[in-house]
Amino acid sequence: MTSRSLCASWSKPSWPTLCHDQFPAQGIAVSYNPVDPRSLTYEDIVAYSARVEDAHRGQSSSRPLKKGYELRGQIGQWRFAWDYGFPFDMSILPQGDGRIDFTCRNGKTIDVKSARLPLNLPREVGKDHADILVLALVRLDKRIYRFIGWEWDEVMLEQPIDTLGEFTILNHLMSAEHLKPMRDLVDIINE
Q: Which pTM was predicted? A: 0.77
Q: According to the model, what pLDDT value does residue 31 have?
A: 40
In this predicted structure, the answer to whether residue 135 has a pLDDT above a threshold of 90 is yes
In this predicted structure, the answer to whether residue 174 has a pLDDT above a threshold of 90 is yes
Contacts (Cβ under 8 Å, ≥6 apart) of 98:
128
Give the separation between CA 63 and CA 70, rounded to whole angstroms. Answer: 10
- What kind and span of H or E run contains 74? helix 69-84
Three-class SS state of 185: helix
Q: How many domains, in total, are found in the chain? A: 1
Inside any domain, residue 163: no
Q: What is the DSSP string of 121-168?
A: EEEETTS---SEEEEEEEETTTTEEEEEEEEEHHHHTTSPEEE-TT--
Inside any domain, residue 87: yes
What is the extent of the structural domain holding 109? Answer: 8-118+131-157+179-189
In this predicted structure, the answer to whether residue 20 has a pLDDT above a threshold of 50 is no
Inside any domain, residue 74: yes
Inside any domain, residue 123: no
Inside any domain, residue 168: no
In this predicted structure, the answer to whether residue 18 has a pLDDT above a threshold of 50 is no
Q: Which residues pair with 132 in a beta bridge?
A: 110, 152
Contacts (Cβ under 8 Å, ≥6 apart) of 16:
4, 8, 82, 83
Confidence band, pLDDT 50/70/90 cuts, at residue 27:
very low
Inside any domain, residue 103: yes
Q: What is the mean pLDDT of residues 30-35?
A: 61
Contacts (Cβ under 8 Å, ≥6 apart) of 41:
12
Chain segment 58-92, per-residue pLDDT in tens? 655 555 556 667 899 899 999 999 999 999 888 76
Give the separation between CA 27 and CA 71, rounded to whole angstroms. Answer: 23
Inside any domain, residue 93: yes
**Single-letter code of the amino acid located at 52:** V
Inside any domain, residue 111: yes
**Single-letter code of the amino acid located at 133:** L
- What kind and span of H or E run contains 53? helix 42-56
Confidence band, pLDDT 50/70/90 cuts, at residue 19:
very low
